[in-house]
């Protein structure tokens, strides 16, 4: 028991140090400057890794709101892993735990039962966040490629950092007119992009349970927040989500901005995903992927 407690504290301390280092790294542009190519890379990674969280970690793996073939499933898990928000199994377990006791003392990140700060990111540096998961996730463990991503999570993050630095360094040599460098690309692509995506995602837990409208009467304090939806590719329609957690789309009204759903719908047209769960229908629709 003592060994497990020390391990949880060590993991929490590691995450806390990482948070500090990444936020300091996000200040590097003050010294290394910026370039159009670095900004485009940062934006592209924000969207790709954000889609990995929204469409992959959240709607596919945590809620099984649709089906995807194994190649697409792996790519979504990879994109989510590169977002530096925890390994797939850790993230999904905690999210399912959140739904099991939303806004109660059993909720791992609620601004109702805890503080706004704790719900936003404080919970991730609490030793209790590294307890053994309540959910065994046997539905995910049967895929060896997903286990591979979980086991090699840290190596993936190091490889991402190396790839970004290498890209910037190569462009500095081969295309100096672009005005970038290895350190600049690392600063914008990894540190700035990751920190922005962190706080966007964390707003779903904090602001998404404090401010906004409620289209549905749920037992929790979930809210629909258009600003959160804007920065999270549609995840801000959180009251909708808590009413219909297995729905593949969060934006239920035509004007509710939900690019994650639009992208998934587009992928279904070429058979990469399908069997969407939707709130208006009891049976799945758009069967495509197996």
Instruction: Look at residue 280 and tell me whether its pLDDT is greater than 70.
Output: no
CA nearest to 200, candidates 222, 223, 225: 225
- Whole-angstrom distance, CA of residue 74 vs CA of residue 80: 10
Q: Which residues pair with 274 in a beta bridge?
A: 67
Q: Higher pLDDT residue, 53 or 129?
A: 53
- Whole-angstrom distance, CA of residue 181 vs CA of residue 127: 38
- Per the listing, tokens 């993936």 go with 156
Mean pLDDT of 142-171: 98
Q: Higher pLDDT residue, 158 or 135?
A: 158
User: What contacts 24+ positions apart, CB below 8 Å, involve 253-260?
Assistant: 253/215, 256/224, 256/226, 256/229, 257/226, 257/229, 257/230, 258/229, 258/233, 258/234, 259/233, 259/234, 260/51, 260/54, 260/55, 260/59, 260/233, 260/234, 260/235
| pLDDT confidence tier of residue 201, bands split at 50, 70 and 90 | very high
CA nearest to 146, candidates 133, 157, 137, 155: 137
pLDDT on residue 131: 79
Single pTM value for the model? 0.94
Contact present, 11 and 145 (Cβ < 8 Å): no
Mean pLDDT of 68-89: 97
Instruction: Look at residue 5 and tell me whether its pLDDT is greater than 90.
Output: no
Of 38-47, 117-126, 127-136, 269-278, give the lowest mean pLDDT range.
Answer: 127-136
| pLDDT tens figures, 216-266 | 999 999 999 999 999 999 999 999 999 999 999 999 999 999 999 999 999
- Per the listing, tokens 């485009």 go with 40
Instruction: Look at residue 281 and tell me whether its pLDDT is greater than 80.
Output: no
> How does the average pLDDT of the chain come out, rounded?
94
Mean pLDDT of 121-127: 93
CA nearest to 285, candidates 265, 259, 262, 270: 265
| pLDDT tens figures, 16-61 | 999 999 999 999 999 999 999 999 999 999 999 999 999 999 999 9
- Per the listing, tokens 């999210």 go with 95
- Whole-angstrom distance, CA of residue 27 vs CA of residue 21: 10
Of 13-17, 106-110, 156-160, 168-172, give the lowest mean pLDDT range.
Answer: 106-110
Mean pLDDT of 75-91: 97
* Count of C-beta atoms within a 10 Å radius of residue 99: 14
| pLDDT confidence tier of residue 288, bands split at 50, 70 and 90 | very low
- The DSSP call for residue 213 is B
| pLDDT confidence tier of residue 128, bands split at 50, 70 and 90 | confident
- Whole-angstrom distance, CA of residue 275 vs CA of residue 286: 5
Give a three-class secondary structure readout of 36-80.
HHHHHHHHHHHHHHHHHHHHHHHHHHHCCCCEECHHHHHHHHHHH
pLDDT on residue 290: 36
């Amino acid at each position: 028991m003592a060994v497990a407690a020390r391990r949880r504290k060590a993991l929490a301390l590691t995450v806390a140090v990482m948070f500090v280092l990444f936020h300091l790294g996000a200040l590097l542009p003050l010294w290394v400057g910026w370039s159009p190519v670095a900004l485009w890379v940062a934006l592209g990674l924000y969207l790709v890794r954000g889609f990995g969280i929204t469409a992959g970690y959240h709607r596919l793996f945590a809620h099984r709101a649709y089906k995807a073939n194994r190649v697409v499933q792996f790519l979504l898990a990879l994109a989510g892993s590169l977002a530096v928000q925890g390994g797939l199994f850790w993230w999904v377990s905690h999210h399912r735990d959140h739904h099991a006791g939303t806004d109660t003392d059993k909720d791992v990140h609620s601004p109702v039962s805890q503080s706004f700060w704790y719900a936003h990111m404080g919970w991730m540096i609490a030793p209790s966040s590294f307890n053994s998961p309540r959910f065994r996730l046997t539905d995910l463990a049967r895929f060896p490629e997903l286990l591979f991503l979980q086991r090699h999570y840290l190596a993936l993050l190091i490889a991402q950092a190396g790839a970004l630095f290498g890209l910037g360094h190569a462009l500095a040599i081969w295309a100096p007119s672009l005005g970038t460098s290895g350190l600049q690309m690392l600063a914008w692509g990894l540190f700035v992009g990751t920190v922005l995506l962190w706080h966007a995602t964390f707003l779903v837990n904090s602001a998404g349970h404090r401010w906004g409208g409620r289209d549905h009467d749920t037992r929790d304090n979930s809210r629909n927040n258009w600003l959160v939806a804007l920065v999270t590719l549609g995840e801000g329609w959180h009251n909708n989500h808590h009413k219909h957690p297995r729905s593949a789309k969060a934006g239920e009204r035509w004007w509710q901005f939900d690019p994650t759903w639009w992208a998934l719908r587009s992928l279904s047209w070429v058979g990469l995903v399908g069997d969407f769960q939707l709130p208006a229908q009891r049976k799945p629709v758009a069967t495509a992927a197996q």
